[in-house]
Chains A and B, each alone.
Chain A
Amino acid sequence: MSIKVFAAIILTAVFVNNYVLQQFLGICPFLGVSKKFDSAVGMSIAVIFVMLLATAVTFPIQHFILDKMDLGYMQTIVFILVIAALVQLVEIVLKKYVPALHASLGVYLPLITTNCAVLGVCIDNVDSYMTATGFGASYAQALFNAFGSGLGFMMAMVLFSGVRARIEDNDAPPSFKGMPITLIAAAILSVAFFGFTGVIENIFG
């Protein structure tokens, strides 16, 4: 397992398979919390953190418990409960031991429990990397993919917060004010990401 594989996983997750702009996961926070740069960054850091943690916990659960005991159909229930409990736990721990971090990330943590990007990355990792040879290698790939997906989310959020600051000042037609014009701006941002298709294969090919 060379460094090339991991670099390719991260770059693919950030640019080619961007969770928000290409796969439509995590649209709610993307539209809801992207109005200000600071909140966009705070939310994204919380998402990266929870994605990594959720993958770190759910991937072994799938491998050592669900698959071993033939309980694959319980995946949805188990994953969502584990993620919900995990987020609560993280919030409690942060509040007690790292109050400074809790003050900046705390608001975003409860919002993440029902974020489809987090559940999505866990299921996606199990689907794509579980078949790789050996648990250690596939676990590492899944973790890198989770980190890359989180970074991709952050990039989309940060870029879009800049775009939205501009939209605020512009005079859109009345029926397009608010959500519609935001969505159309997102469409244009999404077109930009098409430019990356095929780039990763050529770099590492």
Chain B
Amino acid sequence: MGKLQTLTNGIIKENPVLVLVLGTCPTLAVSTQASNAFGMGAAATAVLLGSNVVISLLRNVISEKVRIPCYIVTIATFVTLVQMVLNAYAYDIYKALGIYLPLIVVNCIILGRAEAFANKNSVLDSALDAIGMGIGFTLTLFVMASIREIFGNGTWYGIEIPVLKDNHISILTMAPGGFFVFGCLIAAVNKWFKNKPVKKDFDQGCEGCPMASACGGKKDNCEKEGAEA
């Protein structure tokens, strides 16, 4: 796999949100305003880059049995760093993201990439993968938030949009709108990029499964779950 492909993989072909359907909670929750979505995307990308590089560096040191706790500690450390930086320099975003900022720790994308990519690839490749996945995540969040903000609130990045301001569909900025816009976006990606609808194919391994990081990629867990999920 070429370096460029590693980088671009995450943006469309393996887009973490729309194709792999990982990290759904922050996607739905912070995509009410374009500025929040961008902040969330940037924060998650920073954590992803840091954790992927560190885990890739340590991939020969960490023993197989304790790898998940090691990854979680690494990720939690970077999340704490990002929290501190945002608290100091971007307090508005820090307040807007609220509880979802510490919850980056349990974002499946980050643990998923550590497990699926960083622990078997070189540092450079892992960094590129992290940047690609980060851009894919940020872009998706940004597009979704733009749709919700423009139609739901009649503004975009705080700029008022003349006609829509008076005719906004405010339900789009509330919880149901999140589910609805997300569903439509996935459908649009399926349609335009000729992707097959995402299938959780458990014979193909655990990489496409949002639960993979949690069950440690153990096939036995998968098969019990897999029949249903």
Is there contact, CB below 8 Å, between A24 and B29?
Answer: yes
Is there contact, CB below 8 Å, between A180 and B103?
Answer: no
Tell me if A132 is interfacial: C-beta within 8 Å of chain B: no
Within the complex, what minimum Cβ distance (angstroms) separates B116 from chain A?
14
Within the complex, what minimum Cβ distance (angstroms) separates B124 from chain A?
27
The residues in A between 78 and 131 inclusive whose CB is less than 8 angstroms from any CB of B are: 79-81, 84, 107, 110-116, 119-120, 123-124, 127
- Give the CA-CA distance A74 to B186 in the complex, in Å: 37
Is there contact, CB below 8 Å, between B80 and A74?
Answer: yes
Residues of A within 8 A of B108 (CB): 28, 114
Is there contact, CB below 8 Å, between B228 and A35?
Answer: yes
Of B182, B197, B213, B228, the contact of A39 (CB 8 Å cutoff): B228
Is there contact, CB below 8 Å, between B183 and A187?
Answer: yes
Tell me if A198 is interfacial: C-beta within 8 Å of chain B: no
B188-229 interface bits toward A, Cβ cutoff 8 Å, 1 = contact, 0 = none: 101100000111000000000011011110000100110011
Residue of A with least CB distance to B80: A76
Of B25, B102, B183, the contact of A182 (CB 8 Å cutoff): B183
- Give the CA-CA distance A115 to B199 in the complex, in Å: 21
Of A31, A181, A191, the contact of B21 (CB 8 Å cutoff): A31
Of B28, B99, B106, the contact of A124 (CB 8 Å cutoff): B99
A169-200 interface bits toward B, Cβ cutoff 8 Å, 1 = contact, 0 = none: 00001111111111110111011011000000
Is there contact, CB below 8 Å, between B180 and A187?
Answer: yes
Residue of A with least CB distance to B77: A77
Of A76, A107, A119, A183, the contact of B179 (CB 8 Å cutoff): A183
Tell me if B175 is interfacial: C-beta within 8 Å of chain A: yes
Is there contact, CB below 8 Å, between A33 and B184?
Answer: no
Tell me if B24 is interfacial: C-beta within 8 Å of chain A: yes
Is there contact, CB below 8 Å, between B103 and A179?
Answer: no
Tell me if B69 is interfacial: C-beta within 8 Å of chain A: yes
Tell me if B37 is interfacial: C-beta within 8 Å of chain A: no
Known contacts A182-B183, A183-B186; A23/B21 CB under 8 A: no
Residues of B within 8 A of A120 (CB): 99, 103
Number of interface residues of B (CB under 8 A): 54
Tell me if B76 is interfacial: C-beta within 8 Å of chain A: yes
Tell me if B158 is interfacial: C-beta within 8 Å of chain A: no
Is there contact, CB below 8 Å, between A119 and B213?
Answer: no
Residue of B26, B111, B197 ringed by the most chain A CB atoms within 10 A: B197
The residues in B between 43 and 82 inclusive whose CB is less than 8 angstroms from any CB of A are: 68-69, 72-73, 76-77, 79-80
Interface of A is mostly: helix
Is there contact, CB below 8 Å, between B24 and A177?
Answer: no
The residues in B between 94 and 133 inclusive whose CB is less than 8 angstroms from any CB of A are: 99, 102-103, 105-108, 111
Known contacts A110-B216, A183-B182; A35/B25 CB under 8 A: no
Is there contact, CB below 8 Å, between A111 and B25?
Answer: no
Tell me if A150 is interfacial: C-beta within 8 Å of chain B: no
- Give the CA-CA distance A191 to B175 in the complex, in Å: 8
Residue of B with least CB distance to A25: B25
Residues of B within 8 A of A179 (CB): 21, 183, 186, 197-198
Is there contact, CB below 8 Å, between A77 and B76?
Answer: yes
Known contacts A76-B76, A178-B197; A114/B176 CB under 8 A: no
Q: A residues within 8 Å of B by Cβ?
A: 21-28, 31-33, 35-36, 39, 73-77, 79-81, 84, 107, 110-116, 119-120, 123-124, 127, 173-184, 186-188, 190-191, 193-194
Q: B residues within 8 Å of A by Cβ?
A: 21, 24-26, 28-29, 68-69, 72-73, 76-77, 79-80, 83-84, 99, 102-103, 105-108, 111, 171, 174-180, 182-184, 186-188, 190-191, 197-199, 210-211, 213-216, 221, 224-225, 228-229
Q: Which 3 pairs from chain A and chain B are nearest by CB? A: A183-B183, A187-B179, A180-B187
